[in-house]
A and B are shown apart, each in its own frame.
Chain A
């Protein structure tokens, strides 16, 4: 069965940060692009649960793809964020040492950073005194730090959503709840899914922790992906002062428990690092969260753990090659973009550019699309506007004066807009991820019924058919009156 009878130039499988940035990069050109996602919404796995950091590029081993694309990606982030109206916090970062041994590691890291291409202004050592000036809550154990001013914080799922929205504005198609079941190549690729078969000249496998599994649908891959779980705490906004991303000294377990200021004022603390089965990546544990607490207080003191508003877990796609797996398999046009664990978020825009310009270009001519628009329509965020500005809006659309989420100050106008954009919200979590309604301290306690009502009305479905997050995750199970 043919899905829609159309021949695509490129089918992208997966809508995380990698698939999303590649879709936008492809949409610059006269190419027919189809994006497939098995879930009810885009970017629901690794992109949804990570540290949100745009790393400087100090950490990956020199010569790796991780090092190359991290440094390049970091330098592309600000522009991409401006073009796509994505929150971006250029906060800076520091790796802190708590012993003489760790101070030696800092020296090594500095050399590594410079080898990776950072300049002396982008990576340098600072004293305890300078650290204290920048971070009043730094722990007394910290003796020295490697300061990394180009470290920034983004809003990961909005990066994915905005890239796909912009790709769609430029003609790309998105099919959700479409799970790939087989991939074959004759003259062209035929990609079988639960929604029919789609044909294309190039296939991009950007399926995160499922990368190896999807590769296996086409060939016997030489790499292995093992999901590595990370658990995190989120602190309430504006309850604690952290100005920079604070990394402990790295170990063989990764970058360790990092304390990260978030764009909206929250603080993120985590992750753990633990290899688990694929179906366990989204699970928080008592032991994991205890580990986060135990190690966080080595770098930072007085953390108000009573201000935790949420904990979550996510899986990174860890490859046995210890590097990103970015390859055009036997020059077939089946392109793997897998093993994209940290610093994948930082590297994404650079990876996308490379994949399109260096790999896809071997199979398809890249002709600029004259109608291409690099920006998406500005997102109205009333909590970043002055009252006078909002009042102008309210005159045109009174629903910008209807506050739905009090914790994050999100209006009904914003919720409706998030539903009707390309790649719009379809679930309660979808609205939360796009607007932050329900992301505050009451965690949707008050606004969830309102969000359900708005989704049902705008999508013209029954309230009982409104999903919490995944397909079939209905909140309202049966009627008790008015039948």
Chain B
């Protein structure tokens, strides 16, 4: 069995960034495995711009952003396999993959990095009422058909869910000549970035229906109509039904980290993020297995994925150099009032070099509040926030000095 220092599973933005970082740490015997026929992941179908403002200080399209990393990976001569699907992580951290050339084969590594990205929640998951005609797709599917394959899936479109892909597709399909009649969001606030609400809906006069959902899908062969209803506490309000004649319903109702192989390998997932539980070094509950990018938790911006994957890549380097210390009593991070999750989920203070970056999402929209970081009874830090929303990831940086006050647990809450 061929043995590598590191195998990276998934060649999207996270896998590319992690692989390059690990190489720069001095580990050149690495393998990147990608299931698609080219590297770049979901970025390849995101042909709109707005990527790279943080990492490159310039505005790039998805493919351009990906190309920078793919070029660098090629220049470094990092080994990769395309059109190959990892099917299993074995207990000794070897992995099994399958492709047309090797069939099922195994390769071994000292460390693994999970960068499989995520998949879209779909009509099945939300038990959407009505018939099952053609014309109900996820926004990402429609995006692939349009931007990669060159086909439009419909001319009169309604979008359920205000996730970023749905917002982007509202604009994209409008530009292709389709009529987008509206976007419905069951929550009182958007699931997408504010800049996308402005640039993809407001600029094109596409209405956003907050507190609304689709309560009927009508059509035998093809989608003919949808019924939109106002909701209260997630329940449709009778009498508020409005009918829209459409041939397409796109769903943008959330992304779920892709972790079937992680789960099957016994790696413990966070119930909230649906990604692996990781420590300060992005190491999962299985020693030597690291995770980053959308397989770890869903990010708003690819730039954040890159930054996170670089940090994870550096940690993998430290792991291979035996610089990471293990401990049985890591400090547990506890999301408290108003916080839905925090990544990482636990920390070993001995491995923190100078500062610790924590990433979290809030449970609702907040204005003029304070984030309070505390450990048991001790308050560690207060950060004033003018606006926070679940769609926008929050970051809290703790210094070594802050961390010296930490006892067994570390909590964060929202205070009015």
Contact = CB atoms under 8 A, between A and B. Distances in A.
B129 A284 contact: yes
Given A401-B101, A445-B141, A480 B131 contact: no
A475 B153 contact: yes
Category for how many chain A residues contact B? 35 or more
B221 interface: yes
A403 B141 contact: no
Nearest to B104: A387
A445 B120 contact: yes
A397 to B, nearest CB: 9
A402 B131 CA distance: 33
B413 interface: no
B337 interface: no
Contacts of B128: 284, 311
B103 A391 contact: yes
Contacts of A464: 151
Contacts of A473: 133-134, 221-222
Interface in A434-478: 441-446, 448-449, 463-464, 467-478
Nearest to B236: A286
A477 B155 CA distance: 8
A31 interface: no
A285 interface: yes
Given A443-B122, A468-B134, A482-B150, A448 B141 contact: yes
Nearest to B99: A401
B332 interface: no
A470 B221 contact: yes
Interface in B362-414: none
A477 B124 contact: no
A289 B129 CA distance: 9
Given A398-B101, A478-B152, A472 B221 contact: yes
Contacts of B125: 308-309, 441, 443
B123 interface: yes
B102 interface: yes
Nearest to B146: A480
Contacts of A279: 220
Given A390-B103, A445-B122, A403 B132 contact: no
A353 interface: no
Given A233-B127, A449-B144, A406 B220 contact: no
A468 B141 CA distance: 14
A282 interface: yes
A366 to B, nearest CB: 40
Interface string A219-260: 000000000000001100000000000000000000000000
A474 B132 CA distance: 13
Contact of B132 (A312, A395, A482): A312
Nearest to B223: A473
Contact of A401 (B35, B103, B124): B103
B17 to A, nearest CB: 22
B102 A401 contact: yes
B137 to A, nearest CB: 8
A18 B148 CA distance: 43
A390 B104 contact: yes
A117 to B, nearest CB: 39
10 contacts: A282-B220, A311-B124, A390-B98, A390-B104, A398-B100, A401-B98, A449-B149, A477-B155, A477-B247, A479-B151
Interface of B: 35, 83, 85, 87, 96, 98-104, 119-120, 122-125, 127-135, 137-138, 140-141, 144-146, 148-155, 176, 215, 220-222, 236, 247, 260
